[in-house]
Structure formats: structure tokens, C-alpha cells
Structure 1
Amino acid sequence: MRINFPGTAKRKLVAGSSIFCSYYSMTHIIRKSNSVIFKLFKSHDVLTFLLTMTATAATSSLLYYLVFSSSSPTRTNKASRKPTKVEDRRAIISKRKMLESPEERYASLRIGNRFLNPFEEWTDIPFYKTLFFWLRRYKGNGIPRDEKALEQALPTHKPDFDRIKNKENGVTFTWFGQSTCLMTIDGVTILSDPVFSSRSINNYIGPKRLRPISCSLEEVIHLVDIVIVSHDHFDHLNEKAVETLGNSVVWYVPLNLKRWLNARAIINVVELDWWQETFYPFSDLMIACVPAMHWSGSRTPFEKNNTLWCSYVIKSKNNTLFFCGDTGYSSDLFKAIGRKYTPFTLAAIPIGSFLPTHLMQHLHMGPEDAIKAHLDLNCPRLSVGIHWGTFMMSDEYYLAPKQILEKAWAECKRTLLARDSQTEDRVGSSSAIIAPPTHTRDPPSVSETRPENSMTDRAEQTEQGLLLTEFITTAFGQTVNLI
């Protein structure tokens, strides 16, 4: 008699696999009846018991699956069933394509109590693929066992607190690892994604920090005015750091994350949606929450996407910072941010956790995508690579983000500085004309202000832009400043 399993082909495959596993297990045990199990127990009764339990477990699992799948929506007519969240997301994206405003096309998307990504580049990865990835994380990423070699490869510096405190320095930047950065802009100090623990989750659980953090939170807390949080993953939001900072700072967080902070007695919180702007109290410092392509959750087994994720733009009278949260690369998105908020004095852009590509490309940018984002943002005066060399949670060599960035950036500058039209066509529209910011730089040259009437004009403008922009990495704790 033919068994007709309900559901899709994938469900039939699961059901069939259950029968196969049951059959294989029983035949394997019978063939090995004279092996260790039989010799150990010296009893056919034990062997019979094992056979019975194996068959019972497999059959029970199969019956459980069949019973519960009988009420599955896959048995109903496709025309009458309720669309899935993925189908709803695709339909909304399709409708939004007709909208002219990026703020409307890339408004935050929420279906039910879950946030979703409104980007065509986004790909939903099944849980089992993520699970298999973590189960095979044993390669070590090429990290040297010799502590001196590691120290030489990833040096740590003590932050230059004199520079940080000097309000005459328009912008300073200090990277502590992962996405934890201390930035000052016109006298206001901002801490991003605060994580100061020795491991990604806390001091005891999670991937270990490759190098000791260059200073403790207690050493900088008195300097901090603002904390910005991009999303709620453990390596971006540490509970102990939150408790230490408390209400001594103003917290800026994406939608639905405020209640998590409130539950820990943190009430000095401003919650923002994508494209929403607000001002730091009693100042002209504007803080804007802008879109990113990522996800949230994982703090408990049953959380996923119940809070929003984002990047930030911080704009003063004289300078503008861009702090990029975890995100995959979307050219149209970065161009939209660039058009709305350029010129940028400094941008902190993630460059790590990009392998394996099929799992990571929609979650994190690698160095080459980060350079594309830098160009789409109209070339900030200085971009700094972050989110690398701290907690190894991907497959690339531990120094690959830095090494690839240096090589790719040098090649990018060589390519863009070439003046023939063939080279410019190969570069592409995302990086063709780069008008550098002028408010913190030398007076604009003629090529920056005259109309673009020829290919030579375009090349000269690109060259001038690239001469006034840089994309670098820094050591842990190293302080750089832009006056």
C-alpha cells in the first residue's frame, strides 16, 4: 500500500528520512549483534529492548510529524492560505519600488511583532544552516598560539585622553574592539555599542577576545555623554556595561529596545525609528537613526527580530559622523544616506565577519563592500574599519579584514585616479564622481566647484576627492583626531 504523506516535497523528504533512519538503525544493530553491545550485556533481551526502543522512537516521531502536519497550511489551497512573512515582505518591497523617496522605500518594516528587512539583497537563512556553521567552528582562524606574535599583529594602545578631552579637536575616534568606539564631535563624547567584557557575551561565555581591552569602562565613563546602540546582539550590547553606565548618559536605541533597558532601571533612553532625527538636549547636535540590513534577537532562545537594528548619523554645526552598525551591503541604501547627510567628516564602517559568503554577505560587509559603501557615502574625510579582530565568529583569517582592506583600498585609488574613460566605466556609477566635503578641509579647488563638462573634469574631481579621503584601520585604543 502506498503511503501518501501530506505536505510539501520537503516535508515528504523529512518523513521518508525518518523511516530510512529507523530501518538503517535496526539493520545496523542486528548486523552488529555480536559486537560490544551484545557482549556487554550478555543478553538477547537487552538487544531486543534496544531494537524495540529504536523502532518506537522513529515511528513515534513519524506519527507525530504526520498528525501535526495534517493541519498545516500546506494542505490547504494556496489561493486561500495566509501569505507567509517572507511573501508579505517581498510583496511590500515590490510595491515600495515605485516610491521615489528613500525614506519611504526603506522605512522600517514590521509584520506582526517582528521586524523584517525591506531590502532586495536580504536573504533568509534557514536555522539549520546557521546551526551547522557553528557546529563546525573549529578552524581557529589562523590565530597564533604565541602571545608575542599575536600582540605584534594586533597591538593595543592606551587611549590618548588628552586629545579626547581637548574640545578644540573637532573630531576624535578611538576603537576598543568590535563596534565599541569612543567618538567626540565638537565637545560631545559618544560611546557606541558598549562591550568591555573578555568574551562576547560576558566574562565567562562566548568567543574569547583576541587581545585584552585597552582600557576599562570605568576609565572612560566620566567622559561619556551619549551611548548609541545599533542592535541587541551580545557582542554589541553588554549587560554589565549597561548597568555600569546606567542613567549617567543618554541612550539612543532603535525601536523596541527601550523596554529592555527600562527593565534594568535605565530610563534616560530615546528610542528611534529609521530616518527619525532628534537633538541631544541643550545642544545643536542632531542624532539620526538610519537603516541597516541585519537582524536582532538571540538574547533568549525565543527572540528574533523583535527589536529594530540600525546605523547612526551624528551631525553638529561643523562636523558629521557616520556610525555603521552591522549590515550587509546595499548600494542604493548607502547612496541614499550619502545624499541626505553628506559631507561626512568620519565614518566607522564594519569590515569583518564576512565568511562564509553564502551565510554572511547579507549580514556583514567585507572590506571590499566597505569600500563601496565609503564611495557611496561620497567619500568621508576618514573612514575607519571596525568589527574585526576582536571576537572570531566567522571563517576568515583573523587578519584578513585589515590585509584585504589595505590592498583593495590601494587598488581602488589607483583605479579611480586613472583618467581614461575605459577605467571609469569599469569602476561603475557608485564611485564615479566624488565631491569631497569642504567644511573641514583645505579651500575647494577649481575642479571641485566648476561644472562637470568633460571626462577630464570628472577625473580631476575624482582625483581631488581621493586625495582628501582615506580608509584605514587602527590599533585597539589608538586615538586619531581630525581638526
Structure 2
Amino acid sequence: MRTCFFWILSLLISNVCGVAFAEDSLLSKLQQDKSHHTESGFTNPYLDLEPSVVAFLKTRYFGDLSWPDEPVNYRKFWQKADLQKIDNPSEKPQATLIGHSTVLLQYQGLNILTDPIFSERAFPVQFAGPKRYTPVAIKLEDLPEIDLVVISHNHYDHLDKDTVKALGDKPLWLVPLGLKSWFTSLGIDNVQELDWWSEYRFKGLTLQFQPNQHWSRRGLFDTNKSLWGAWAFIWPDFTAWFGGDTGYNDVQFKQIGQVLGEVDLAMIPIGAYQPRWFMKYQHINPDEAVKIFQDINAKSAFGIHWNTFVLTAEAIDQPPVDLKKALVKNNLSVDSFRAMPLGETYQSN
């Protein structure tokens, strides 16, 4: 009987160790894969076709596809952030959606910002370009002291110069390969660049920069000179995932699920997805957002990248409708992945 017990115990231990070894082996293999590197910058290894920007501009400005106007004083799916919750966070993880893809993630005494933009416009200048139609849920000056900022890529709705300068050199900035020089040109040196699958440890937190399907550019001659990606925040007892801005493929997100095992909270883009013939290569729609939710083995999620700027052709209040349809179609609880109002604070159970 005792022999049988020890045999079963050893079998269980070997199975657990085998799973851990398999995950470590996969991560090591992925870290060595540089298929996204090119001689001049970076590329999407699982994207064979890139849509015509010229054709998109013709559709946008000369076609018959209708585009929503920027509403004035819009407050649907919006509320002012609860400063009491933010200034006195519970011992459990919490995340406040500030606007677009800007999230304040708080846990274990850390205050973390994702893709912060507090400016009125997502554009090189503040007198033109996409204008914010919902206000930020918390003012920049009302934020708690920020320890860490992560950037997914360099597009203007994710990397805002005025916000970066306002936050300054005090927080640590984690950015994709090729972006550090942009920060140092602003006098910000507290910056670490990461490649896909690279890790950085910070006060008990492991941050892992992970792949997604997108691109980068801020000027006329710097297309894909810097990398793009997603971020995983891995504490011993809690894992969060920030998707940044991405199209869908059936390889990278499944790999993320294999490496992470399970995600407690995912922040996944749900907006800016029409017209589909152009946007599908770089922006997921809610149906694909649910696929990512499943691929990365997320337990709960809320939507980012919506309800802030008019960037594409779908109605501004369409993402929640399409998200609910996608969840129902996949027999998932509509509460597991929410189109959370700007300003709301997600709190872990």
C-alpha cells in the first residue's frame, strides 16, 4: 500500500514538473525566435498581406461609407473615477479604465499605467486630428505616484508626447525595442527596452513583453523601426494582461496562453474595427477579442481602445453590442468580459 502511495505521488510530481518544464522550454524557444526582426526594423511573422493605405484614405474621404461624428459632451459608458478607491486601494488587484487604452493597474503597492494619453487629441499637434469626445476619467494631476509605465507601441493614441513629458523621469518606462532613443531625446532616461518574450523584474512583479499583430510609425520615414506588442504582469498570485493594439492570428495568442497558463484579468481592445477589409490586419473586432480571451485562458476581462476617439467607421456605441453578441455566440458569460465604462474600477474577487 505504501509503495503504491509513493508511486502515485511521484507520478503526480513528475507530471507537474513536466508541465512546468514544457512551459519553460516553450518560452526559451520563443525568446530565441527573431523572425519578427528585419534588416531595417520589424515585421509581423504571421501576416502575409498588408492593406493599401491609399485605398483606405480614398474610402475614408471620398467613399460612401459613413463615419460617426465626434459627439460633444458625450457621457455614455463614462463616469468620474472614484478617487477614494484609487488613493486607498484594497489589498486585492484593481484596475481603473481612464480612457482609450490608458489603465491604472494597482496591486502590491505598485501604481502602473498603460499607454497613457491625457491630451485632448491623438495627433502630433493639438489643433487637429482625432479629438477626445469623452473626458479622461481622472486628471493627470490627481493620479497617485506612478511607479511604472508600459508602452505597447508608438502610435499617437498610445504614446503621447505631452503626457510623457508631464509624467517625466520618475516612473520606470518599459518600451518596445527601438523606442528608447525617442524618450532620451525628451530627457527621460529611466527607460528599459524589451524584445518579444523578454522579461523585466520590478519589486516582486515580473513583466513580460509579448507579441501581437500591429505596426509602428510616428513620421513619414520610420515605419516599423520600433517594435509593438502586449504586456503580461505576473505576480505570484495574480496575472494581468494588456493587449495594446492588435489584429488577430491563430498562433501568437495561443502561445501566450501556453506560456502564462491562465490570466486573471485581461485588458483587450474592442474598438476601431470598421471597415473590416482594412482594419482586420491591425485591429481586432469584438468577435476576435473573444477569441483572444479564450486563447490566453482569461478568467475575466474588460475592453480597452474604445469610447474615446473616433478612429474608424463603426458607431461609437457599437462595440458593447458586438461584444455581447460574440460572448453569447461562444456560450460565455456576458459578465466575464465587459465593456466597462470609462472611470470604473475593476476589483478582483
Q: Shorter-chain TM-score: what band?
A: 0.7 to 0.9
Q: Using the alignment, how far apart are the partners of 1:313 and 1:274 within structure 2?
A: 11
Q: Is 1:108–1:273's contact at 8 Å kept on the other side of the alignment?
A: no
Q: Using the alignment, how far apart are the partners of 2:64 and 2:307 within structure 1?
A: 17
Q: Secondary structure at the match of 2:156?
A: coil
Letter in 1 for 2:340: T
Letter in 1 for 2:206: M
1:25 corresponds to: none
Whether 1:111 and 2:33 are equivalent positions in the alignment is no
Please report how far the alpha carbon of residue 304 of structure 1 lies from its aligned counterpart in structure 2 after TM superposition.
Answer: 0.4
Please report how far the alpha carbon of residue 257 of structure 1 lies from its aligned counterpart in structure 2 after TM superposition.
Answer: 0.2
Whether 1:296 and 2:216 are equivalent positions in the alignment is yes
Q: Using the alignment, how far apart are the partners of 2:347 and 2:115 within structure 1?
A: 20
Whether 1:193 and 2:59 are equivalent positions in the alignment is no
Q: Secondary structure at the match of 2:126?
A: coil
Choose 101-110 or 240-249, whichever is displaced more: 101-110
2:337 corresponds to: 471
Q: Is 1:169–1:481's contact at 8 Å kept on the other side of the alignment?
A: no
2:138 corresponds to: 215
Please report how far the alpha carbon of residue 142 of structure 1 lies from its aligned counterpart in structure 2 after TM superposition.
Answer: 4.1
1:244-283, Cα deviation, whole Å (9 max, x unpaired):
0111100000001000000000000011000001101xx2
Q: Using the alignment, how far apart are the partners of 1:268 and 1:218 within structure 2?
A: 21
Letter in 2 for 1:290: Q
Q: Secondary structure at the match of 1:118?
A: coil
Q: Secondary structure at the match of 1:130?
A: helix
Q: Is 1:290–1:312's contact at 8 Å kept on the other side of the alignment?
A: yes
Q: Using the alignment, how far apart are the partners of 2:112 and 2:160 within structure 1?
A: 16
Please report how far the alpha carbon of residue 197 of structure 1 lies from its aligned counterpart in structure 2 after TM superposition.
Answer: 1.1
Please report how far the alpha carbon of residue 408 of structure 1 lies from its aligned counterpart in structure 2 after TM superposition.
Answer: 1.8
Q: Is 1:106–1:291's contact at 8 Å kept on the other side of the alignment?
A: no
1:292-319, Cα deviation, whole Å (9 max, x unpaired):
110001x222220000001000111211
Kindly report which structure 2 residues correspond to 1:60-459, keeping only aligned pairs within 5 A, or say none.
103=30, 107=34, 109-119=36-46, 121-136=47-62, 141-143=67-69, 147=72, 150-151=74-75, 154-201=76-123, 202-220=125-143, 222-280=144-202, 283-297=203-217, 299-378=218-297, 380-413=298-331
Please report how far the alpha carbon of residue 335 of structure 1 lies from its aligned counterpart in structure 2 after TM superposition.
Answer: 1.0
1:32 corresponds to: none
TM-score by length of 1: 0.63
Q: Using the alignment, how far apart are the partners of 1:211 and 1:138 within structure 2?
A: 27
Q: Using the alignment, how far apart are the partners of 1:104 and 1:289 within structure 2?
A: 11
Please report how far the alpha carbon of residue 110 of structure 1 lies from its aligned counterpart in structure 2 after TM superposition.
Answer: 2.1
Kindly report which structure 2 residues correspond to 1:34-45, keeping only aligned pairs within 5 A, or say none.
none
Please report how far the alpha carbon of residue 144 of structure 1 lies from its aligned counterpart in structure 2 after TM superposition.
Answer: 8.1
2:15 corresponds to: none
Cα 1:167–1:413 change in 2 (3 A) is: same
Kindly report which structure 2 residues correspond to 1:43-54, keeping only aligned pairs within 5 A, or say none.
none
Q: Secondary structure at the match of 1:279?
A: strand
Q: Using the alignment, how far apart are the partners of 1:352 and 1:106 within structure 2?
A: 30
1:118-173, Cα deviation, whole Å (9 max, x unpaired):
11x4422234223324434896644586x57x43xx24322223323445432111
Q: Secondary structure at the match of 2:169?
A: helix
2:347 corresponds to: 481
Cα 1:365–1:162 change in 2 (3 A) is: same
Cα 1:172–1:257 change in 2 (3 A) is: same
Cα 1:248–1:155 change in 2 (3 A) is: same
Please report how far the alpha carbon of residue 385 of structure 1 lies from its aligned counterpart in structure 2 after TM superposition.
Answer: 0.8
Q: Using the alignment, how far apart are the partners of 2:244 and 2:105 within structure 1?
A: 15
Q: Using the alignment, how far apart are the partners of 2:119 and 2:48 within structure 1?
A: 31
Q: Using the alignment, how far apart are the partners of 1:363 and 1:105 within structure 2?
A: 25
Q: Secondary structure at the match of 2:268?
A: strand
Q: Using the alignment, how far apart are the partners of 1:248 and 1:108 within structure 2?
A: 34
Instruction: Give the root-mean-square deviation of aligned CA atoms.
Output: 2.4
Q: Using the alignment, how far apart are the partners of 1:401 and 1:370 within structure 2?
A: 11
Cα 1:203–1:324 change in 2 (3 A) is: same
Q: Using the alignment, how far apart are the partners of 2:221 and 2:48 within structure 1?
A: 22
Cα 1:361–1:139 change in 2 (3 A) is: closer
1:189-238, Cα deviation, whole Å (9 max, x unpaired):
11011111111125322111121222221111x33111000000000010
Please report how far the alpha carbon of residue 105 of structure 1 lies from its aligned counterpart in structure 2 after TM superposition.
Answer: 8.6
Cα 1:371–1:248 change in 2 (3 A) is: same
Indicate the structure with greater helix content: 1
Q: Using the alignment, how far apart are the partners of 1:134 and 1:174 within structure 2?
A: 33
Q: Is 2:92–2:348's contact at 8 Å kept on the other side of the alignment?
A: yes
Q: Using the alignment, how far apart are the partners of 2:78 and 2:295 within structure 1?
A: 31
Letter in 2 for 1:332: V
Please report how far the alpha carbon of residue 340 of structure 1 lies from its aligned counterpart in structure 2 after TM superposition.
Answer: 0.5
Identity %: 33
Long gaps (5+) in structure 2: 1-24
Q: Using the alignment, how far apart are the partners of 1:197 and 1:304 within structure 2?
A: 23
Letter in 2 for 1:208: K
Q: Is 2:215–2:223's contact at 8 Å kept on the other side of the alignment?
A: yes
Q: Using the alignment, how far apart are the partners of 1:184 and 1:243 within structure 2?
A: 22
Letter in 2 for 1:131: L
Letter in 2 for 1:474: M
